[in-house]
Amino acid sequence: MKSLVTRDPEILGGEPVFTGTRVPIKALTDYLEGGESLDTFLDHFPSVTRKQAVGFLEAARKHLSAMPT
């Protein structure tokens, strides 16, 4: 996950962003929650690669799947 997400107080006040960009992770989750497709998100934020976005979603799924019930 560290290679996908960066938190730096100098970038958007420390909000988690996709590494190498200024695009907040929240932007992806907001798009998906709003019913937009991953392709639409990637079109609107071309500095984020498909590999980064899919990698983040896979890591989040694994993290949630590993949580105790």
Mean pLDDT split into 10-residue runs, the chain, 69 residues: 87 96 97 98 97 95 84
Report the candidate in 33, 13, 23, 8 with the shortest Cα–Cα distance to residue 53: 23
Tell me what pLDDT residue 45 has.
98
Read off the tokens for 30. 């907001």
pLDDT at residue 2, as a whole number: 65
pLDDT given at position 3: 84
With a CB cutoff of 8 Å and minimum separation 6, the contacts of 4 are 18, 19, 52, 55, 56, 59
Q: What span, in angstroms and rounded, lies between the C-alpha atoms of 34 and 49?
A: 20
Q: pTM (2 decimals)?
A: 0.86
User: Residue 1: its pLDDT value, please?
Assistant: 60
